[in-house]
Amino acid sequence: MNDFLNQVRLVWDWLTSSQQWHGDDGIPHRLIEHLTYSGISLFFAALIGLAFGLLVGHTGRGAFAVATVANLARAIPTFGLVVLVVTLAGLSTTPVLIALVALAVPPILINTYEGVRGVDPDTRDAARGVGMTEWEVLLRVEVPMALPLILLGLRIAAIQVVATATVAAYPGLGGLGRFIVDGLSRNDYELVIGGSTVVVALALVVQVAFTALRRVIVSPGLQVAASKS
């Protein structure tokens, strides 16, 4: 117990040290790098996942491809994918971003597809019956009703990217993972635990942000229905 309390105290001293909040190796700079990698990756993953998820969900064509992506996503090891892409494409920011995008697309794609396909067919038919075009059915009926699952997919992808972006430090890039990699290389476990604590805190912030976003943009009726399902 005393060892645990000593570790907590050491990490607290590390986090509150002024040295950790200034310079290129400080928490703010590393956090900005981490958020940049994560934000860019999530943006492109959302473009790909939402586009194909909405298309396949609305038309029903390509469901087999979605299932294949889902199975591949469960089988691909995160770190192995990053190392493979960096090995094939070289040591730079782009290969790491490609790997992060590849990891983030499946949850967005699958949840978007499931959300759109789960819309009541009678509701779809009623929308067409009042003269809505296919685009209007998709954007004004299916997307609003699928929002809970769409946001769930985005939340899972965002948390996964934030956690996985730490591996960007292994091929020599920045981000919060630098604390973990540098700490392990120096046997400085205070640095490792401190960096890990910041990553966990960031993931919790992302979780809270998506929960708040869901409460704002999803109708109360759909929130109740989603919580019961």
Q: What is the CATH number of the domain that holds 52?
A: 1.10.3720.10
Residue 15 burial by Cβ neighbours in a 10 Å radius (0-12, 13-18, 19+): middle
Average pLDDT over the chain, rounded to whole?
84
Backbone φ, ψ for residue 176 (5° rounding): -65, -25
What pLDDT sits at residue 205?
A: 95
Q: Helices (DSSP H) in the chain: which residue ranges?
A: 2-16, 27-59, 63-75, 78-89, 93-117, 121-129, 134-136, 143-164, 177-186, 189-217, 220-228
What pLDDT sits at residue 100?
A: 87
pLDDT at 228 over 60: no
Buried b (16+ CB within 10 A) or exposed e, 124-158: beebeeeebeeeebbeebbbebbbbbbbbbbbbbb
pLDDT at 152 over 60: yes
Percent of all residues in the chain with a pLDDT value above 90, rounded to a whole number: 32
What pLDDT sits at residue 157?
A: 93
The residue among 71 and 134 whose pLDDT is bigger is 134
According to DSSP, residue 115 is labeled H
d(CA 45, CA 50): 8
d(CA 97, CA 86): 10
Instruction: Name residue 133's amino acid.
Output: T
What pLDDT sits at residue 113?
A: 93
- Give the structural domain span for 189: 2-228
- How many domains does the chain divide into? 1
d(CA 85, CA 127): 45
d(CA 50, CA 194): 35
Mean pLDDT of 102-107: 88
What pLDDT sits at residue 220?
A: 72
